[in-house]
């Protein structure tokens, strides 16, 4: 039997979606507005996209954003998957506490995370300076910062993907003669894979969008697109920044749709 | 695995030890100049607040590279500098945070001998309360807070009575900033925008209560929103930083701004050299470059903010010279009509301002 949704309910749902997405739509539409301040519609133009790509600071920030997002996703996916598998497979004494620790970076406000990382880095720097080594906040500190919060997302996605399966799957594989490595690569990993990929995509979009943590973790001369956009807001958003935000939204949406497709429960199992 | 964890733990303990022994870098009387190659100048500044051509000229003149990083509020800038995360040479804080930065040990006293062009600054902008003797800071650009309007819709009188008077036919927007809003009410009443007197603050509170109860009150806004409303002619009046409005005249010359005759608040952005600056000598050279008459004018011609540089005035674009709101009469600086938004003593006065603001916002 197919249950129909009440029309009022679906109307409400559409309203909620409109409320969520209309502002973004407006932003996208106004990135094609031929007016510097976007208060009134002054005709269609794509010139802001041209202005955007002519800006050296934008190109540089774009490169930084992509480097950080790709590399941090790679690192956090490997580490996060291991954590997720570990939590699924082993009965650990402090399992609840460990899971709690894993959730922490997700629930802690970004500002707390950003400032604590900033202090941590400067503390490490002062220690290293005594040993004669120095480093500047920049690529590496931002990369590390992103990995720290991404690991949680990946680990939790992987764990929840595997939640329905018991450890007996692996035991069965071992009984049938598989080595530890074989049971991992041929049984556990394929099962976990959609979770791993979804986690990776989630991590990627989070890295792409992050402002607060990046702002505090980065040193001088290293900014990413969100940092560039946000610090431009003070004197009013210029339309080229609208164009940039529109592009960022586009990339994020594509990644999220892909993540959703991968997370969809498989019908064949 | 366990060994690695142990090693990491030991390393951390070691670092803790080092950290304890070492004095915090920021409070050292003369922090050593670290890693300055004299070739890269790192500047922490508001966005769109310097002409890129000016930066290029400085780079070429000195054979160096200038890295500009932007922040969106004084508080965010302060947090980042206090955390010690980045090695900047120069920062551009607003006047009211200069003392906070001095107390936090973030600033390096300026070397006057290196600032030959300091004489270009109008005397009224030197030696201000926020930095007596200009030990740490040099005025960069300032913004007065004015009343903006679109003359095709409505031309107001040059008085705060447009907002605080009994007439309630006009729609208006106030700045989303406690010191600006309470400051405007205080100026209308003839008090200092930095007053700590309870009875004066009460009078301002009562005035503001009535103002926000008017049916024309359209809310608080940071500035860009007000500008858009004026361009779209959906409000009559908006309290706004003069520079933020003037930039809109490029799109519609009918948007204008005036300074109320009772006086108003101004906020000065300043150039400071950071204590941990790797290249203090270069930082001084940059400040002196900005203080140059023609460079100072080029700055304002780009940002539309007002220049404290008296020698720069002749080089301003004619369009900017003609705007009274950008060039308040020199007498206003001395007759108490222009108040720098100052730091409040903590405790009771601070709490009073906070309480008034909370009440207004939650009305």
β-pairing verdict for B264-273 and B172-175: unpaired
B250 close contact with A: CB closer than 8 A: yes
User: Which of A112, A236, A242 to mutate: most B Cβ within 10 Å?
Assistant: A236
Structural contact between residues B70 and A58, judged by C-beta atoms closer than 8 angstroms: no
Question: Along chain B (363 residues), what's the average pLDDT of each consecutive run of 10 residues?
Answer: 40 38 37 61 92 95 92 86 83 92 94 95 89 95 94 93 92 92 96 93 95 93 86 92 87 91 94 94 96 96 92 92 84 87 84 92 82
Count of CB pairs separated by less than 8 Å, A with B: 106
State pLDDT tens for residues B271-328.
999 998 999 999 999 999 999 999 999 999 999 999 999 999 999 999 888 888 888 8
Option in B15, B86, B232 nearest A127 (CB): B15
Whether B69 sits inside 8 A of A221 (CB atoms) is: yes
pLDDT of B26 reads: 40
Please tell me the pTM assigned to this model: 0.79
B251 close contact with A: CB closer than 8 A: yes
Option in A35, A130, A235 nearest B224 (CB): A235
Q: Model confidence at A125, in pLDDT bands (50, 70, 90)?
A: confident
Which residue of chain B is at minimal alpha-carbon distance from A112? B79
CA pair distance A36, A116, nearest whole angstrom? 39
Structural contact between residues A165 and A269, judged by C-beta atoms closer than 8 angstroms: no
State pLDDT tens for residues A185-224.
888 888 899 899 999 999 999 998 899 999 989 888 888 9
CA pair distance B103, B93, nearest whole angstrom? 14
- Sign of CA pseudo-dihedral A228, A231, A232, A233: positive
Whether B85 sits inside 8 A of A37 (CB atoms) is: no
Identify all chain B residues contacting A221, using CB atoms and an 8 Å cutoff. 42, 67, 69
B13 close contact with A: CB closer than 8 A: no
In angstroms, what separates the C-alpha of B35 from chain A's closest C-alpha? 9
**CB contact set of A17 (below 8 Å; sequence gap of 6+):** none
Q: Which of residues 302-341 of B touch A (CB under 8 A)?
A: none
Query: Phi and psi at residue A60, in whole multiples of 5°?
Result: -65, -45
């Amino acid at each position: 039997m197919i249950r129909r949704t009440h029309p009022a309910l679906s109307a409400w749902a559409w309203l909620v979606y409109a409320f969520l997405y209309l502002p973004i739509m407006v932003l996208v539409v106004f990135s094609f507005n031929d007016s510097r301040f976007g208060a009134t519609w002054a005709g269609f133009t794509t010139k802001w996209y041209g202005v955007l790509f002519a800006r050296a600071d934008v190109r540089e920030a774009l490169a930084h954003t992509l480097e950080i997002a790709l590399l941090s996703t790679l690192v956090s996916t490997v580490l996060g998957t291991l954590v997720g598998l570990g939590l699924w497979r082993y009965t650990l004494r402090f399992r609840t506490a460990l899971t709690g620790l894993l959730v922490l970076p997700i629930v802690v406000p970004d500002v707390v995370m950003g400032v604590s990382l900033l202090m941590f880095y400067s503390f490490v720097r002062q220690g290293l300076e005594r040993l004669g080594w120095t480093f500047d906040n920049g690529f590496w500190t931002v990369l590390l910062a992103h990995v720290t919060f991404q690991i949680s997302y990946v680990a939790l996605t992987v764990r929840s993907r595997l939640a329905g399966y018991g450890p007996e799957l692996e035991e069965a594989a071992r009984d049938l003669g598989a080595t530890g490595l074989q049971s991992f690569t041929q049984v556990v990993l394929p099962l976990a894979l959609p979770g791993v990929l979804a986690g990776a995509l989630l991590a990627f979009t989070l890295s792409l969008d992050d402002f607060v943590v990046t702002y505090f973790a980065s040193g001088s001369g290293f900014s990413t697109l969100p940092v560039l956009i946000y610090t431009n807001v003070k004197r009013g958003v210029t339309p080229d920044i609208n164009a940039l935000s529109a592009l960022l939204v586009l990339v994020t949406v594509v990644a999220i749709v892909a993540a959703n497709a991968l997370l969809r429960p498989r019908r064949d199992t | 695995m366990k060994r690695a964890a142990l090693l990491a733990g030991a390393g951390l303990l070691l670092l803790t030890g080092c950290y304890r022994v070492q004095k915090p870098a920021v409070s050292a009387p003369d922090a050593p100049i670290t890693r300055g190659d004299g070739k890269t100048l790192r500047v922490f500044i508001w966005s769109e607040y310097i002409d890129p051509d000016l930066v290029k000229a400085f780079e070429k003149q000195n054979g160096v590279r200038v890295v500009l990083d932007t922040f969106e509020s004084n508080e965010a800038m302060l947090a980042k500098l206090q955390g010690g995360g980045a090695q900047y040479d120069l920062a551009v804080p607003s006047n009211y945070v200069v003392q906070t930065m001095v107390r936090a040990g973030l600033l390096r006293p300026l070397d006057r001998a290196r600032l030959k062009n300091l004489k270009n600054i109008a005397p009224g902008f030197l030696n201000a309360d926020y930095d007596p003797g200009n030990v740490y800071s040099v005025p960069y650009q300032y913004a007065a807070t004015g009343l903006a309007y679109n003359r095709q819709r409505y031309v107001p009188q040059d008085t705060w009575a447009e907002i605080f008077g009994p007439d309630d036919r006009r729609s208006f927007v106030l700045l989303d900033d406690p010191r600006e809003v309470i400051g405007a009410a205080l100026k209308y009443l003839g008090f200092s925008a930095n007053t700590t007197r309870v009875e004066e603050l009460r009078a301002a509170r009562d005035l503001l209560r009535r103002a926000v109860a008017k049916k024309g009150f359209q809310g608080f806004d940071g500035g860009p929103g007000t500008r858009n409303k004026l361009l779209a002619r959906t409000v009559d009046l908006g309290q706004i930083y003069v520079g933020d409005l003037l930039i809109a005249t490029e799109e519609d010359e009918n948007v204008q701004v005036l300074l109320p005759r009772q006086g108003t608040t101004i906020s000065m952005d300043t150039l400071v050299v950071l204590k941990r600056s790797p290249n203090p000598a270069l930082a001084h050279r940059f400040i002196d470059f900005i203080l140059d008459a023609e460079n100072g004018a080029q700055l304002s011609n780009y940002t539309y903010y007002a220049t404290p540089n008296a020698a720069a005035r002749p080089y301003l674009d004619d369009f900017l010279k003609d705007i009274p709101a950008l060039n308040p009469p020199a007498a206003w600086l001395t007759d108490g009509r222009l108040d720098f938004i100052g730091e409040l003593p903590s405790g009771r006065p601070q709490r009073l301002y906070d309480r008034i603001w909370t009440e207004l916002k939650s009305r």
